[in-house]
Structures are given as C-alpha cells and as structure tokens.
C-alpha cells in the first residue's frame, strides 16, 4: 500500500478518474462527495475493481467538515499522504461582472477557493508531521492573470485565488518534502467542460496523478498544464 489519498468531488469526471488511477497505484482512496449515496457508490465501484477505497461525506464549503475529515484520517490511517482538491463549480459562464449575483459569487468562492484552503489548513499539518505530502489544486487557465479577460468573474477570481493559495502553501512547507502545485487539466470532456472538449478525462487525470505522486526533486509552488509550468 502506497498510503492514503483524499480526492474531493470523486464521484464523476476528473475526480472519478483521479481516484481510480490513485487506487491502481496502491493508495487507499478516500472518496469525498457532498452526498452519502454518491460517496458510497463511488467507493463501491472502485472496490469492485479490486481497489482500496472508502466513502466520506464532505462539504468543502464548511471548515468544520475539513476538520472532521482530518480527525478521521488521523484516527484510521495516522494521517494522509495525498490531497487532491478537485471539487469545484462553474456557475457564471458568460456572465458579466455587473450581472453577477451574490449567491453565485459566494458559492463559487466558498467551493473553489475557501474549500481547498480549509482542507489544506486541516490536512497539511499531518503531512508536515510525517515529512511527506503531495497536494494538487485543480485550477484553470481562467485563473491565470496573464490570460485574464472579461466575464466569468466569480470563476476567474476563485481560480486566481486558488493559484495564490498554492504559492503560499508551497512556501509554508518549503524544504519538508511536501509538494503543493496547481494543475490546469486543459479543456476536458466532463459535465463542466462539456462534450465538445477535446481532452479525455482519463488522460487529464493522469496529469493530476503525476503531480500527486511527484518524486522529491519534482516541482512545488508551480502552475502546471500537461506536466509543464505555465505563466501565472
């Protein structure tokens, strides 16, 4: 067994394929979703493939849920080795800043930015204690300041903030054999990306898994696409 990996939003798309591939590498995969049935179905499907997976109900928007997950990981496995912050929402496609409603803005920031922050804050200290950890934050080119454009304000700002969080966390754990990177998976055929996207989710997930299993000489504090650094 390679260790324990947490994948948020593991029930479909990129999260599902990431959980599957980590399981195939020998990790115990903690499959988190907001609903118990989805978490159970995800874990059961992976177990049916001979993989080690367990369900966990987690609302990433709640700090107390992240803290509860940390306690569970500590009690059952003594900590955690990999965290993939995959769960996210894309609610304001095509919406101008001046038309953006508060609910959409708050839900987007809570899910895409505060959720990963809560999880990093709760889980990374366990990685620090054991001197090993890999964190992958699922980002997007929409969050790159170098490519910033109009519309899609909530999503853009949430992912730009996630990139900043990645850089801050990487600096916090520098020299501890803990890697924290942001990964843009490209345009992927998922519920979020749509059927017209050119990239297969299993292929995109392989890049996420690569970042989640980096060797000690691998990058940290980087914004990556197709396993290469891209401008912030």
Q: What is the pLDDT of residue 187?
A: 67
CATH superfamily of 3-229: NAD(P)-binding Rossmann-like Domain (3.40.50.720)
CA distance 43 to 31: 6
What three-state secondary structure class fits 224? strand
pLDDT tens figures, 64-98: 999 999 999 999 999 999 999 999 999 999 999 99
The DSSP string of 125-179 is: HHHHHHT-EEEEEE--GGG-GGG--SS-HHHHHHHHHHHHHHHHHHHHTTTTTEE
The alpha helices in 8-96, defined as continuous H runs, are 13-24, 36-48, 63-77
DSSP states along 93-125 = TT--GGG--HHHHHHHHIIIIIHHHHHHHHHHH
132, 142, 155, 226: which is the annotated catalytic residue? 155
> Using one digit for the tens of pLDDT, what is the confidence trace for 129-186?
999 999 999 999 999 999 999 999 999 999 999 999 999 999 999 999 999 999 999 8
| 226 given a catalytic annotation | no
Where does the pLDDT of residue 22 fall: very low under 50, low under 70, confident under 90, or very high at 90 and above?
A: very high
Per-residue pLDDT averaged across 91-114, rounded?
A: 98
Q: What is the pLDDT of residues 206-225, one digit of tens each?
A: 999 999 999 999 999 999 99
* Contact by Cβ (8 Å): 134, 179: yes
Q: Give 166's contacts (C-beta < 8 A, 6+ positions apart).
A: 137, 139, 180, 181, 182, 221, 223
In this structure, are residues 10 and 4 in contact, taking their beta carbons and an 8 Å threshold?
no
Neighbours of 108 (CB within 10 A): 24
Task: Return the pLDDT at 197.
Answer: 56
User: Residue 192's pLDDT band (boundaries 50, 70, 90)?
Assistant: low
- Least confident window among 40-44, 100-104, 191-195, 227-231: 191-195
Q: Please tell me whether residue 26 adopts helix, strand or coil conformation.
A: coil
> How far apart (Å, rounded) are the C-alpha atoms in residues 164 and 7?
21
In the prediction, which pLDDT does 199 show? 80
For 85, the enclosing helix (H) or strand (E) is: strand 82-85
Domain boundaries, the chain: 3-229
In the numeric block, the tokens 């950890």 are attached to 133
Question: Exposed (0-12), middle (13-18) or buried (19+): which is 83, by Cβ within 10 Å?
Answer: buried
Q: With pLDDT > 90 as the criterion, what percentage of the chain qualifies?
A: 92
Considering the chain, what is the average pLDDT of its residues? Answer: 95
Find where tokens 């306690």 sit.
71
Alpha-carbon gap, residue 81 to 224, rounded angstroms: 20
Q: How many CB atoms lie within 10 A of CB 31?
A: 30
More confident residue, 188 or 28: 28
Share of the chain above pLDDT 70, in %: 95
């Amino acid at each position: 067994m390679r260790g324990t990996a947490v994948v948020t939003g593991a029930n479909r798309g990129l999260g599902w394929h990431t959980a599957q591939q980590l399981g195939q590498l020998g990790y115990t995969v903690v499959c988190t979703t907001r609903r118990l049935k989805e978490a159970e179905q995800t874990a059961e499907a992976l177990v049916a493939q001979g993989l080690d997976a367990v369900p966990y109900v987690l609302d990433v928007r709640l700090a107390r849920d992240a803290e509860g997950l940390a306690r569970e990981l500590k009690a059952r496995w003594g900590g955690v080795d990999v965290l993939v912050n995959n769960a996210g929402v894309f609610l304001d496609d095509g919406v101008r800043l001046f038309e953006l409603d508060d609910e959409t803005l708050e839900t987007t920031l809570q899910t895409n930015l505060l959720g990963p922050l809560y999880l990093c804050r709760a889980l990374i200290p366990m990685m620090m204690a054991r001197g090993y950890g890999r964190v992958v934050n699922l980002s997007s080119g929409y969050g790159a300041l170098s490519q910033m454009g109009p519309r899609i304000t909530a999503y853009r700002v949430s992912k730009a903030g996630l990139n900043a969080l990645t850089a801050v966390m990487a600096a916090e754990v520098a020299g501890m054999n803990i890697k924290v990177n942001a990964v843009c998976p490209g345009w992927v055929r998922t519920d979020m990306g749509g059927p017209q996207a050119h990239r297969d989710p299993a292929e995109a997930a392989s890049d996420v898994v690569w970042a989640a299993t980096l060797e000690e000489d691998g990058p940290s504090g980087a914004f990556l696409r197709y396993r290469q650094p891209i401008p912030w």
